[in-house]
Structure 1
Amino acid sequence: MPHGERLVQKVSATRTFARIAPHVIPALDRAVHRLTRGKVLLSARMLPGVILTATGARSGQPRRTPLACLPQDDGGWLLIGSNFGRPGHPAWTGNLLKNPEAEVSWRGRDIPVRARLLTGEERARAWRAARDFWPPYAAYQARVEREIRLFRLDRR
């Protein structure tokens, strides 16, 4: 692993990062994504990323959220509701629970998807893959009481 990537993982696992990142990273991602017409996500320089468009659970309005993801070999995606290791599930996970039909912007293409909350052994396998892919997820889980939600997105 390159030194720079180790440093980013170390910083990403800190509580300070958890306080600041949720306010800075999504705003930067949305701006750059818009300016590049969906071709670039800054956070995707370290982790693959999508822009999830889901229907708000309470508002019924479209909600766009830049998220890290784990692309799957069969063309789907795994999303991790880590919320940077902060208490409380991120809003997008509640939106997908209520309205699983959504869309992702992936490499400049908008793709309709259906989300499914993972449970049991399927969740355990996905969680191991997520931790292997991005070790700071283990630090995020250690900081919170809740079980981090994992979603599988399949193309519709």
Structure 2
Amino acid sequence: MTSNQQTGNRKKPGPLTRASLWFQRRTNVKTNEKIRRKGGKIMGMDLLILHTVGRRSGQRRESPVTWFDGGDGTRLIVASGGGSRHPDWYFNLVAHPDKTAIEIPGESAVPATPQALEGAEREQAWQRITEAQPRYAKYQKKSDRRYPVIRLTPR
């Protein structure tokens, strides 16, 4: 998997501080606990827990991520990151694609192969995603950064 350039028209993000990283990680922990306890549907969207390894730290990371059915047992995820930048988990996937796993509520984490979709494949996946959740089309319109769409294939 390779990283594409990230630019965006939305408000420029400030530097990540220790406090903001701590807050994000704590929020992820709480959301992951909720997913494991109550299932993966939050605010009308299906969530999974994406297991990655930090690109710089080498530490295991778990991120709650909205997913969409990609067909053939695959799942599609969008690296929207709030519109302003790619989320950290995306860069972790790029750096360590072989250390990726997905956890669906009620199941153990399984290794997965991430693939950034391009061209017609991406367009078909994007159509599927925006039909299921039109809010993603609204988010994309607010940013000139094209959101990466990732297919996760269980290994």
TM-score category, normalised to shorter length: 0.7 to 0.9
Aligned to 1:128: 127
Secondary structure of the corresponding residue to residue 59 of structure 1:
coil
Aligned to 2:34: 32
Structure 2 gap segments, 5+ residues each: 1-9, 11-22
CA distance in structure 2 between the partners assigned to 1:50 and 1:131 by the alignment: 18
- 1:74 corresponds to 2:76: no
Secondary structure of the corresponding residue to residue 45 of structure 2:
coil
CA distance in structure 1 between the partners assigned to 2:29 and 2:41 by the alignment: 10
Which TM-score applies when normalising by structure 1?
0.75
RMSD (Å) for aligned C-alpha atoms: 2.3
User: When you count helix as a share of all residues, which structure comes out higher?
Assistant: 1
CA distance in structure 1 between the partners assigned to 2:122 and 2:41 by the alignment: 28
Q: 1:138 is matched by which residue type in structure 2?
A: A
CA contact (8 A) 1:118 1:151 kept: yes
- 1:144 corresponds to 2:143: yes
Larger RCO (CA within 8 A; separation ≥ 6): 2
Aligned to 2:13: none
Which has the larger displacement, 23-32 or 88-97? 23-32
- 1:91 aligned to which of 85, 88, 107: 88
CA contact (8 A) 1:115 1:152 kept: yes
Identity of counterpart residues, as a percentage? 30
CA deviation after TM superposition for structure 1 residue 55, in Å: 1.0
CA deviations 1:72-125 (Å, max 9, x no partner) are 3311100111123x3011111111111112111113211110101111111111
Count of residue pairs the alignment pairs up: 131
Instruction: Please list, as runs of the form range in 1=range in 2, the aligned pairs for 1:96-135 lying within 5 A after superposition.
Output: 96-101=93-98, 102-109=100-107, 110-135=109-134
Secondary structure of the corresponding residue to residue 72 of structure 1:
strand
CA distance in structure 1 between the partners assigned to 2:97 and 2:112 by the alignment: 8
Secondary structure of the corresponding residue to residue 50 of structure 1:
strand
CA contact (8 A) 1:52 1:65 kept: yes
CA contact (8 A) 2:70 2:125 kept: no
CA deviation after TM superposition for structure 1 residue 149, in Å: 0.7
